[in-house]
Amino acid sequence: MAAIVDSYDAVLLDLDGVLHRGARPIPGAAESVVALRSRGARPVFVTNNASRTPGQVVAHLASVGIEAAVDEVITSALVTASALAERGLRRALVIGQDGLLEALAERGVQSVGLEGDPEAVVVGLDRGVTYERLRDAALAVQRGAAYVAANPDTTFPAENGNWPGAGALAAAITAAAGRSPEVMGKPAAPIFRVALARAGGTRPLVVGDRLDTDIAGAAALGWDSCLVL
């Protein structure tokens, strides 16, 4: 029997809110990934969450019953790090966790404080951020540093509700500095294009739970999408 996915050769799957919610698996998600693979659709796991490394993403997916390989994972941290490296930016004041810090380091971008004369301010999800760090980031932006957000998500879906996301942290800097960041994650095009290149397909289906990021980004590129309610 034909299925919708048979019209596509790549499926770009969001994670938080689609395959799991925090540590809790979403019913049917693991079985759906197995079914996609059995029908020849190449899945790529695409997340705006810049706090985890690809290896940590794979481990978390395994904990909710989903098998994935590291080279099937695209995070907004990887896309952000590549963009900075390609522009020759080597010193960044970073608000973020392991995933973002490791991705930047692997591309030769050093994490520095305000006293290190940052060429860029990079913002991702950071559960340990302090007022002082936000203050320094705002000052660096005011002094002319490039301003990049790994993603614009104002909320992060957790088991007990929505937590402030990277976009909420960036909003504080934007309000103080008077400049908006360049966004690398969904709905911006860079992360979608990198994910499709990784899948090796030409006819992608984007699966997500957010109209403002997953679905809007796919629509802007003229790609089909599937909204998980």
11-59 tens-digit pLDDT: 999 998 899 988 899 999 999 999 999 998 899 999 998 999 999 999 9
pLDDT above 90 for 90: yes
Looking at residue 112, its amino acid is: V
User: How does DSSP classify residue 215?
Assistant: I
Q: What's the whole-model pTM score?
A: 0.91
**What's the whole-number mean pLDDT along residues 222-227?**
97
The tens digit of pLDDT for each residue in 99-155 reads 999 999 999 999 999 999 999 999 999 999 999 999 999 999 999 999 999 999 898
Could you report the per-residue pLDDT of 166-216, keeping only the tens digit for each? 999 999 999 999 999 999 999 999 999 999 999 998 999 999 999 999 999
What's 204's DSSP letter?
A: E
How far, in Å, are 16, 82, 109, 206 from residue 86 at the CA level? 29, 6, 11, 27
For residues 45 and 214, the answer to whether their CB atoms sit within 8 Å is: no
Per the CB < 8 A criterion, the answer to whether 73 and 54 are in contact is yes
Q: Is the pLDDT of residue 157 over 80?
A: no
Active-site residue set? 14, 16
- At 2, the pLDDT band (50, 70, 90 cuts) reads confident
Residue 1 has pLDDT above 90, yes or no: no
pLDDT (0 to 100) of residue 220: 98
The answer to whether the CB of 16 falls within 8 A of the CB of 53 is no
Which phi and psi (to 5°) does residue 10 adopt?
-150, 140
